[in-house]
Structure 1
């Protein structure tokens, strides 16, 4: 029992982190299992990410469009009439936000700071994820020979690197409440 007492903070962190991650992942899976696919196919979050990505690509001057896939639960995004990418549920950043949120709650501060950082971080992750998909789509259109590198290495490193940086910002500003020592 001495080991548990000495490592109480670590055990608490791991319990909150994994507990939150598991609960939110189960809740998200229940959402996916019961989310209506009409009118937003395959479900509303992925659908919105695809539409926002399409709008962003258009801002870069490309003729783009997105359509629901007839082959799988995804949205297809194309440039100049050719469909280049599929936006599937795993591309919508929700699982990345769950990972981010679980860590922040495990290192929670006061309620207000924690909620504000989770909200701001989630908006940043979601927004940069849309940018990531837009850049990936444009990259595949412009330099298709680097598709595997961009999709498999560069852009996952981008999104997970962002989460890591947000965690570092949170930890650097994390100041646990110190209990006064009774003398």
Structure 2
């Protein structure tokens, strides 16, 4: 028997032993790759003059504007003339901008890929994915609104708010959703 035959045999045993871990990793990476590819196609072909820069980013900015205005501020959202973004202004002062990276789609794709890797039946998994995406979306719109108000009221804390606290809110939400799913994740015994 040759050395490479022994190693292949051991490798095969390891693959069999850790097949559930490998299935999780391959499903996670594969689904994330496919979702990111589809999202990049959307970004390439989904640009809009009416819903600048794209409909998701535009909608997130407009809904953030609604929240800020409901808090008593005179907030306006205007398309940026410099970059593909929506500027959030209060009293004609640009406080923040909503770019594609602020729409939380990349976070939703990461969440969805994890959920698919821990698949537990179509109905249950799909409902949890849709509910999680809705929660992430709502948290993100609220996060942008509160961040903008925070920058307006406390400009000296802009970096702390934008760089630390509010990313922790959105990623913390995703982490808690994952923990909730893992805790409820149980394979039903087959009858």
What range is the shorter-chain TM-score in? over 0.9
Q: Scaled by the length of structure 2, what TM-score is found? A: 0.92
Residue equivalent to 1:71: 82
Residue equivalent to 2:140: 129
Q: Cα deviations across residues 85-127 of structure 1 (Å, max 9, x unaligned)?
A: 0100000010000000000010011111111000000000000
Residue equivalent to 2:121: 110
How far the C-alpha of 1:176 sits from its partner, in A, is 1.9
| Structure 2 unaligned blocks of 5 or more | 1-11
1:31 aligns with 2:74: no
- 1:3-152 equivalences under 5 Å are 3-152=14-163
| Structure 1 unaligned blocks of 5 or more | none
Q: How many residues align structurally?
A: 180
Q: Scaled by the length of structure 1, what TM-score is found? A: 0.96
- Secondary structure of the 1:77 match is strand
- Secondary structure of the 1:168 match is helix
- Secondary structure of the 1:78 match is strand
How far the C-alpha of 1:179 sits from its partner, in A, is 5.2
CA distance in 2, matches of 1:151, 1:47: 20
How far the C-alpha of 1:36 sits from its partner, in A, is 2.9
How far the C-alpha of 1:178 sits from its partner, in A, is 3.8
CA distance in 2, matches of 1:170, 1:178: 18
* Largest Rg, 1 or 2: 2
Residue equivalent to 2:167: 156
- Secondary structure of the 2:115 match is helix
